[in-house]
A and B are shown apart, each in its own frame.
Chain A
Amino acid sequence: MSLLKIENLSATVGGKKVLNGVSLTVNAGEVHAIMGPNGSGKSTLSYVLAGRPGYEITGGSVQFEGRDLAALAPEDRARAGLFLGFQYPVEIPGVNNVYLLKAAMNAKRKAAGEPEVDAYEFLQLVRGKMKLMQMDESFLSRGVNEGFSGGEKKRNEILQMLVLEPKLAVLDETDSGLEIDALKVVARGVNSLRSRERGVLLITHYQRLLDHVVPDQVHVLARGRIARSGDKSLALELEKRGYDWVLEVA
């Protein structure tokens, strides 16, 4: 059974059709990259998968481990093992990072019928992941993303992903706005999650992230549908020839 199976998916945002027949299958152990010009529907796809209100599925289907994703509330999707790394992580003053991490982890464990995480083990785990992400421990007691720089917010997304160990991570332009060292740190985080059981959907504008997180497949999203798919060499070709080439062929 595939991890994620999207078939002929159409979706609207505020009544406007953005996705127009997307089909895509991600199997466990695979990393897929989705590239495409601005306005092609990349972020919409990520929000539709995570269940953001206002992003309506109007046709087709999305199966996550064989379950109809549309029937699940956003929180249930997360507990089932779907993670969205936001392009613009929101700041939540007054709710500190360590609480969010712990509450999220316990919500997932509760759904799986497991006991709450031991406080000591939890902190050991989080500290280890923070070290990998080169984040100072002082971030834990700060409000969620409050006053973080763009790069710090992206690292924080990856930190949450590493702590929650999702089956499928959808990372929406996690690389945008990162300088090269930060990009490498983020890539290291993503690579550390790769395993035979997990899948990653990387949404990106640029080929440079794919130098560090090498995808199994690359798809080009254009005008709300997958216009072309290929292996990692497709990303290099896009870098050279631009998106117009795909749009012309499509």
Chain B
Amino acid sequence: MPALPAPALPTNRDENWRYANLRPLARARPEPVASDDHAGGLELPPPLPGHERWVFVDGRFNALLSTPAPHSCASLLSARAAGQAFDDMLDAALASEGVDFSLARLNGARGDQVLQIAPADGASAALELTFIASGAASAGTSYPRVQVHAGRGAHLHIVERHVSAGQSDSAVNACFDVALRADAVLDHSRLQNCSATAACFDTLTAHVGERATYRLRSVALGGVSSRSTLMIRLAGRGARCEYTAASVAVGTQTHDVFAEIAHVAPETVTRELFRGIATGRGKLGFNGKMVVAASAPGADSEQSLKNLLTGSGAEAAVRPQLEIYTDRVRAVHGATTGKLDDQMLFYLLSRGIDRASAQALLQWAFIEDAVSRVDCAGLREEAETLIAARLNDVSALGNVTGALKASP
């Protein structure tokens, strides 16, 4: 592979990176972490029923921990074999003014393995991808990369989980590229639960074809700094994107998202929902950019962005952006940042529920609005358990989660 000049990291001077905490990534050694076959003592969650399991340690496939299906539609490629296709696609079709793909280019330049998932026309598959970060940032950065090319009418379920081995302060720069051909469906559930000292950065691009549906449900909990950069292009008539993101930033965590969804074909549909909680000195940023091109009459876009702040040191910035270049469009957008509702709190107190439990219950209810939409039940319950442990009153929430799930 010819040596590529290493692209520079973005900076906070860039408007779309203003709220990200780039320091942990900038401090990390940029070379890939040396290959390591052990998983650093991490106990993996139980396998998800019906899913083949692919496990990666520091960006590299780990055969011992994985159970691929015999005739899996997924395969490992060298970065060289995966070729320039992605970079070309970025340049030709996806590049958008103000969107910085330097991290994706860094991944392309430094990473050496790509998981390609390519179900044929009409095929279906379910995969669980777990990425374990075990190396310290001083030892290098891990560069996981996944490319999805779903054939016509294919139906994919992908669970993507990012975790740490122990409390390592790993640096992760991941890429996930999606191309859905006509009538394909991708149910993509992702959970980022790296250690509280890790730097978790990812770039996701998606090209959604005619009548294809991309459902992305994302939960970000870990990392001292996390940032997701999304560029989703609804490229075929009737293409649909449902994007739900939940984020809980506690302590000194910073979670940032830049999501651009571009409607470039007629009758394309977006449903975007973000719910974030920042407590302590946690910081949350969500920049949701929605573009409706002149070539997309009949587009239908809904965006609901809400942040909840608890504690005086927490910060949040939600920024809905709308660029519309056609008259025939339906766009519903709302964004709020606020504190717990005093009336709801008093109502619960007036029923004898103690203050800490009442606050935890209201926070839980707020974030559940997003988390409950995670399609994969196993991952959803995993996320719910982790969130319950992160919110204030752990013991009370243990009861809360149990009771909320209990049917009468």
Contact = CB atoms under 8 A, between A and B. Distances in A.
Interface of A: 50-53, 73-75, 77-79, 83-84, 86, 89-90, 92-96, 98-100, 102-104, 107-108, 111, 123, 126, 137, 140-141, 143-144, 160, 164
Given A90-B344, A92-B344, A104-B353, A140 B408 contact: yes
Contact of B349 (A75, A96, A111, A144): A75
Contacts of B64: none
A15 to B, nearest CB: 18
Contacts of A104: 351-353
Given A93-B365, A102-B403, A103-B399, A78 B351 contact: yes
A141 B408 CA distance: 6
Contacts, number: 91
Interface string B348-378: 1111111101100110111011000000000
Nearest to A111: B352
Contacts of B368: 94
Interface in B378-408: 399-400, 403-404, 406-408
Interface string B170-208: 000000000000000000000000000000000000000
Nearest to B399: A103
A137 B364 CA distance: 24
Nearest to A101: B351
A95 B406 contact: no
Contact of B347 (A92, A96, A108, A126): A92
Given A92-B365, A95-B361, A103-B353, A53 B403 contact: no
A115 B224 CA distance: 41
Q: Closest 4 interchain pairs by CB? A: A94-B365, A78-B352, A140-B408, A107-B352
Nearest to B342: A53
A143 to B, nearest CB: 8
Contacts of B362: 92, 95
Nearest to B403: A99
Nearest to A85: B350
The bracket for how many chain B residues form the interface is 20 to 34
A90 B347 contact: yes
A96 B400 CA distance: 10
Interface string B297-334: 00000000000000000000000000000000000000
Nearest to B358: A75
B347 A94 contact: no
Contacts of B355: 73, 75
Given A74-B346, A90-B343, A90-B344, A96 B351 contact: no
A104 to B, nearest CB: 4
B345 to A, nearest CB: 9
Contacts of B357: 103
A51 B350 CA distance: 8
B341 to A, nearest CB: 8
A123 B408 contact: yes
Contacts of A95: 348, 361-362, 364-365, 404
A137 B408 contact: yes
A96 B350 contact: no
Contacts of A123: 408
A21 B71 CA distance: 83
A137 B349 CA distance: 25
